[in-house]
């Protein structure tokens, strides 16, 4: 059964077929009640689709005479960009739960491409088929995503049904600040009204979302992406790591991005070049330490390990192995 957005599009297709459609007829075709049909008509009117209400015994709804949706015209480059975006979105896990929707959209666009472009695209997609799929492809529901996006845009509170990592279900009222796509998953940042705390929620764990009346005022300094990355960097893990690294913020963040490390930058001294290399402190919270020596080696910058001692041992062991490999002939 299609969701509300799909039924609105079906309603538009019915009206485009011509003539006046009664509310009873439309309700029967859409499988909804009459008041729901009226709500869908209001949605179309909000989208500037000229739906007219016809009164009388044979009344109902119709499109304004002469109205037709303009055709979607894409150049070859634009069509390729759309198709590659659909393919990349599927592989990155940044699509809705309806995987078939992106596949059928790709097929429709491909059918109208010139043959030489279509053949080249087939070759490219065959090559892309060898790339890795998301580690846990579990994208959000399309209707949930659209409802939350509307709540963010208009600063409206939203009621959601959420399932946490332990499988517990709860009803929550959220003040949504923003939606962030990161590492193959979708996240919502905002305030849990009942808990009175700012939190991050995975969208694939939100079963339903419903806009509530009223509005809220988001914090002035709200940056959803930065909130998400800072939350990852400061989350509780087994090891707390503190490093001092000599380099620029750009050099360090290329190997230790904001989602991994919190970088403490100092204001440059008077007359000092802001882009110059200097000692910066990096703080990490990680579950394992075994990957860090390789990252520090790739960073190729002077560094000091402030804590933990276990990391010093691991770095020393790596340096000894590399030295022994270099001596082999």
pLDDT of residue 229: 60
Instruction: Looking at the structure, tell me whether residues 198 and 281 fall in a common domain.
Output: no
Residue 113 is predicted with a pLDDT of: 72
Q: Is residue 136 part of a domain?
A: no
Structure confidence by residue, pLDDT tens digits, 170-219? 999 999 888 877 666 788 888 888 888 878 888 888 999 999 999 888 77
Exposed, middle or buried, 275 (CB in 10 Å: 0-12/13-18/19+)? exposed
Residue 49 lies in a domain: yes
172 to each of 154, 205, 206, how far by Cα in Å?
A: 19, 12, 10
Q: Kindly state the percentage of the chain with pLDDT values over 90.
A: 20
Same domain, 243 and 319: yes
Average pLDDT over residues 299-306: 93
Q: Is 225 part of a structural domain of the chain?
A: no
Co-location of 86 and 124 in the same domain: yes
- Please, is 274 exposed, middle or buried when counting C-beta atoms within 10 Å of its C-beta (0-12, 13-18, 19+)? exposed
The whole domain housing 148 covers 142-217
Q: Is residue 191 part of a domain?
A: yes
Residue 226 inside a domain? The answer is no
Looking at residue 311, which CATH number applies to its domain?
3.30.70
The reply to whether 222 falls in a domain is no
Give domain status of residue 27, yes or no.
Answer: yes
Average pLDDT over residues 57-84: 74
Question: Is the domain of 44 the same as that of 122?
Answer: no
Q: What is the pLDDT of residues 243-292, one digit of tens each?
A: 999 999 889 988 888 777 888 876 666 666 666 678 999 998 887 898 99
User: Domain of 167: which CATH number?
Assistant: 2.30.30.520
Question: What is d(CA 37, CA 52) in angstroms, rounded to the nearest whole number?
Answer: 13
Which of 5-14, 127-136, 275-284, 289-298 has the highest mean predicted lDDT (pLDDT)?
289-298
204 and 243: one domain? no
Looking at 63, 84, 114, the residue that finishes a domain is 63
Q: Would residue 305 count as lying in a domain?
A: yes
Angle of helix 292-299 versus helix 309-327 axis, rounded to 10: 60
Q: Are residues 55 and 80 in the same domain?
A: no
Number of domains in the chain: 4
Secondary element (H or E) of residue 191 = strand 185-192
Highest mean pLDDT of the ranges 98-107, 124-133, 184-193: 184-193
């Amino acid at each position: 059964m299609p969701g509300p957005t799909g039924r609105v599009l079906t309603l538009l297709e019915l009206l485009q077929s011509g003539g006046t459609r009664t509310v009873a007829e439309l309700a029967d075709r859409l499988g909804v009640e009459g008041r729901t049909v009226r709500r869908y008509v209001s949605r179309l009117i909000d989208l500037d689709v000229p739906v007219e209400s016809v009164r009388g015994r044979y009344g109902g709804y119709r499109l304004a005479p002469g109205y037709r949706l303009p055709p979607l015209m894409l150049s070859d480059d634009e069509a390729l960009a759309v198709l590659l975006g659909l393919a990349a979105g599927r592989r990155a896990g940044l699509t809705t739960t309806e995987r078939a929707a992106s596949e059928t959209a790709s097929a429709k666009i491909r059918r109208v491409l010139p043959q030489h472009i279509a053949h080249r695209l087939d070759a490219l997609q065959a090559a892309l088929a060898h790339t890795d799929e998301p580690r846990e492809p579990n994208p959000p529901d399309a209707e949930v995503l659209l409802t939350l996006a509307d709540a963010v845009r208009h600063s409206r509170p939203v009621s959601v049904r959420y399932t946490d990592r332990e499988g517990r279900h709860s009803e929550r009222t959220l003040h949504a600040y923003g939606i962030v796509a990161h590492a193959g998953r979708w996240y919502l940042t905002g305030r849990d009204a009942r808990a009175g705390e700012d939190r991050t929620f995975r969208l694939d764990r939100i079963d339903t979302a419903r806009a509530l009346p009223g509005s809220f005022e988001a914090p002035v300094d709200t940056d959803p992406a930065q909130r998400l990355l800072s939350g990852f960097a400061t989350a509780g893990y087994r090891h707390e790591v503190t490093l001092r690294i000599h380099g620029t913020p750009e050099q360090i963040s290329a190997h230790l991005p904001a989602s991994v490390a919190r970088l403490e930058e100092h204001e440059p001294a008077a007359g000092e070049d802001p882009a110059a290399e200097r000692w910066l402190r990096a703080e990490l919270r990680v579950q394992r330490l075994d990957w860090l020596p390789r990252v520090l080696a790739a960073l190729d910058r002077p560094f000091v390990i402030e804590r933990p001692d276990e990391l010093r041992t691991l770095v020393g062991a790596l340096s000894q192995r590399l030295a022994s490999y270099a001596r082999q002939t």
